[in-house]
Amino acid sequence: MEDILAITFIFGGGAVFLLSISPVGRAIADRIRRGAHAVPQADLERLREVQAAMYDEVESLRNEVAELREQVDFTERMLARERTEGHLLKGDEAGGVTGDPGDVQY
């Protein structure tokens, strides 16, 4: 039993030593020293700016979706009203153009 323990310490200690002087070992040591969530300050500021821009973009998209929802609701109400009245205006009756789309005057 003591022989196995000695071999484990020799080879295990050697492996730990080699790991500690390698670039991987140095990176692990830096991570331990700084903490698990250490991020350079410049990167942290950049991430905060990107996050703020994303929040602004999401808010803008929400506003656009709300406007589109209002437009769809209005259109649905108008179509429902026309259906309940029993007729839909066609072409000239609605003030639209029934001819060639190129003939439209603005």
User: What digits encode the pLDDT tens for the residues 62-73?
Assistant: 999 999 999 999
Reading the chain (106 residues) residue by residue, the pLDDT tens digits are 677 777 787 877 777 777 778 888 888 888 788 776 667 788 889 999 999 999 999 999 999 999 999 999 999 999 988 888 766 555 555 555 555 555 545 4
Domain definitions of the chain by residue range: 1-38, 39-86
Q: For residue 78, what are its two tokens?
A: 């108008």
Residue 10 C-beta-side C-alpha neighbours within 13 Å: 6
Burial tier of 25 (Cβ tally within 10 Å: 0-12, 13-18, 19+): middle
